[in-house]
């Protein structure tokens, strides 16, 4: 009988007949980097609206509430159809869905660049949400298959930085592009980047599993309505399988709690800083620390730390540091505590993205797991900021003030609740596989 450790390290891509023996051993960092760039272009669908928030209000002649709705519209599809999108992607083919989504995303950004009416702009944002989901499901699943065999953890840790890198790049280049020609220049640049990534990936030797293996193609002569019904039944079955099995549900469930905490840290820790100088330092330093520590988790997982250890220690560490934050009245101590919180969070994020191939029981499980990560991560990204804003609001003024101790205490209390939920899920979910290997080794 297969042990839990063997299941955790069993080669997912060994079951994929589209691999040659040489590919399975050597992999390609060029392909990994291009897939990572595809993720960055997808995350920029959110970043471009955030960076150009004020400019969009002016150019579209509308208010902040409408621009906020346009920003949020991109996340609706992933929030509702995360697993369904993963199911469609796995059945239609990872490469096909990735390339098609990149091309469509480029076209949608070009449409936005001509400043269409608000209603058309909103429709393009909804469609961008679909392309975003398909990209963030297909790209990491392809990374699992095409990264060098002994560097899967490092490749997935790199993937885990795509969101932060996208916002960093957009934040550094977006204002310049907007100053040069308004939001149309920024949107057109995003369209150009996305289509270039699609063309470069098209040249890479990436192949999809055979249709018979992936179950992606229905070649029967049944009427279209019957085939559509069959597809819906398969999608429902995939949804049930994703939620029912620990191998697909656990990474997304842990990420739900982590994403709730992550945005709370990124937004509110700087805002509660004792002085504007510390606030500015944390606005710059916290995203950078998050990217660096997420990247570091890959090499660490290959030989030093296991994902289960990082997550089991990480959640309690966040609680301790958040409580320390309530006593950090001196600028350097507050800054160091804030950066430490983000460092722990970054390591945890890298650990979560490493989990899907470790836990996958059969072909396609990793794609479903990444779909749930996208879906539950979107939910956490909504719950976290709203909840932290409520508990950190000043009772007197109803606003968030710099250096208010009651705000920091409320923040620490809510973080403790989220971290407690994450720790409980981690311990119960990973308890049967405590021997989860350090890193991902597909040569077992």
Task: Describe the crossing of helices 246-271 and 307-325 by its angle, rounded to 10 degrees.
Answer: 20
CA atoms lying within 13 Å on the CB side of residue 270: 16
This prediction's pTM: 0.75
More confident residue, 221 or 435: 221
Best-predicted range by mean pLDDT among 254-263, 303-312, 350-359, 400-409? 254-263
Contact 26, 149 (CB under 8 A): yes
What CATH number should be reported for the domain holding residue 303?
1.20.1250.20
For 384, the domain range is 246-438
Our count of domains for the chain comes to: 2
| pLDDT (tens digit per residue) in 56-109 | 888 888 887 788 888 878 888 888 878 787 778 877 888 999 999 999 999 999
Within 93-182, where are the H helices?
Answer: 94-113, 118-146, 152-159, 162-181
* Residues 174 and 253 grouped into a single domain: no
Residue 355 pLDDT grade (very low, low, confident, very high; cuts 50, 70, 90): confident
| pLDDT (tens digit per residue) in 243-297 | 777 778 889 999 999 989 988 888 788 888 888 888 888 887 888 898 899 888 8
| pLDDT (tens digit per residue) in 293-324 | 988 887 776 666 677 888 999 999 999 999 99
In whole angstroms, what is the distance from residue 51 CA to residue 351 CA?
29
- Asked if the structure places residue 443 within a domain, the reply is no
* Residues 148 and 265 grouped into a single domain: no
| pLDDT (tens digit per residue) in 180-198 | 999 999 999 999 999 999 9
Residue 435 pLDDT grade (very low, low, confident, very high; cuts 50, 70, 90): very low
**Mean per-residue pLDDT, 30-54:** 90
CA dihedral 27, 373, 337, 438 (to 10 degrees): -40
* Residues 259 and 182 grouped into a single domain: no
**How big is the chain by its Cα radius of gyration, in Å?**
22
* Domain end (from 219, 244, 269): 244
């Amino acid at each position: 009988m297969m042990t839990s450790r063997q299941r955790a390290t069993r080669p997912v891509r060994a079951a994929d007949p589209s691999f040659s023996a040489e590919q399975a051993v050597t992999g390609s960092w060029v392909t990994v980097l291009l897939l990572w760039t595809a993720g960055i272009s997808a995350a920029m669908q959110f970043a471009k609206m955030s960076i150009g928030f004020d400019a969009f209000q002016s150019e579209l002649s509308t208010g902040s509430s409408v621009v906020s709705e346009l920003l949020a519209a991109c996340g609706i599809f992933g929030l509702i159809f995360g697993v369904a999108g993963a199911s469609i992607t796995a059945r239609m083919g990872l490469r096909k869905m990735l390339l098609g989504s990149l091309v469509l995303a480029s076209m949608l950004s070009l449409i936005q660049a001509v400043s269409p009416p608000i209603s058309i702009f909103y429709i393009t944002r909804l469609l961008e949400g679909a392309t975003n989901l398909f990209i963030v499901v297909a790209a990491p699943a392809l990374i699992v298959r095409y990264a060098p065999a002994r560097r899967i953890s490092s490749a997935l840790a790199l993937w885990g930085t795509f969101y932060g890198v996208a916002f960093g790049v957009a934040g550094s280049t977006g204002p310049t592009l907007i100053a040069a020609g308004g939001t149309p220049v920024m949107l057109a640049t995003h369209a150009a980047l996305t289509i270039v990534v699609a063309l470069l990936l098209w040249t890479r030797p990436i192949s999809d599993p055979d249709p018979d293996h992936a179950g992606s193609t229905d070649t029967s002569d049944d009427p279209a309505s019957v085939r559509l019904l069959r597809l819906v039944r398969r999608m429902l079955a995939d949804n049930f399988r994703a939620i029912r099995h620990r191998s697909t549900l656990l990474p997304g469930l842990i990420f739900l709690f982590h994403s709730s905490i992550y945005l709370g840290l990124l937004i509110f820790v700087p805002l509660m800083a004792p002085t504007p100088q510390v606030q500015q330092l944390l606005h710059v330093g916290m995203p950078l620390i998050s990217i660096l520590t997420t990247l570091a988790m890959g090499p660490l997982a290959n030989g030093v730390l296991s994902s289960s250890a990082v997550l089991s220690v990480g959640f309690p560490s966040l609680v301790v540091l958040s409580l320390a934050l309530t006593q950090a009245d001196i600028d350097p101590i507050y800054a160091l505590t804030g950066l430490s919180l983000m460092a722990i969070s970054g390591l945890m994020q890298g650990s979560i993205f490493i989990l899907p191939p470790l836990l996958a029981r059969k072909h396609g499980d990793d794609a479903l797991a990444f779909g749930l990560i996208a879906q539950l991560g979107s939910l956490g990204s909504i719950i976290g900021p709203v909840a932290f804003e409520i508990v950190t609001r000043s009772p007197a003024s109803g606003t968030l003030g710099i250096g208010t101790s009651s705000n920091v205490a409320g923040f620490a209390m809510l973080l403790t609740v989220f971290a407690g939920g994450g720790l409980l899920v981690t311990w119960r979910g990973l308890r049967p596989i405590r021997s989860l290997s350090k890193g991902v080794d597909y040569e077992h």
